[in-house]
Amino acid sequence: MAFMPPQGPQGPQQAPTSPPPASIPPQPLASTFAVDPGAIRGCLFRNTYIWPTFGPGFWFFPTFVGRTSVAGFRWTGSRWVYSGFDLRRIESFTCF
In a domain, 26, yes or no: no
Quote the pLDDT of residue 35: 84
**Whether the predicted pLDDT of 28 surpasses 90:** no
In a domain, 83, yes or no: yes
In a domain, 77, yes or no: yes
- Higher pLDDT: 11 or 74? It is 74
- For the chain, the domain total comes to 1
Could you give the CA distance from residue 96 to residue 47 in angstroms, rounded to a whole number? 6
Q: What is the CATH number of the domain that holds 38?
A: 2.30.30
pLDDT, averaged across the chain: 87
In a domain, 48, yes or no: yes
Quote the pLDDT of residue 3: 47
Neighbours of 28 (CB within 10 A): 12
92: part of which helix (H) or strand (E)?
Answer: strand 90-95
pLDDT digits (tens, 9 = 90+) for 30-41: 665 678 899 999
Q: pTM here?
A: 0.84
In a domain, 37, yes or no: yes
**Whether the predicted pLDDT of 93 surpasses 70:** yes
Q: Where are the alpha helices (DSSP H) in 1-96?
A: 37-41
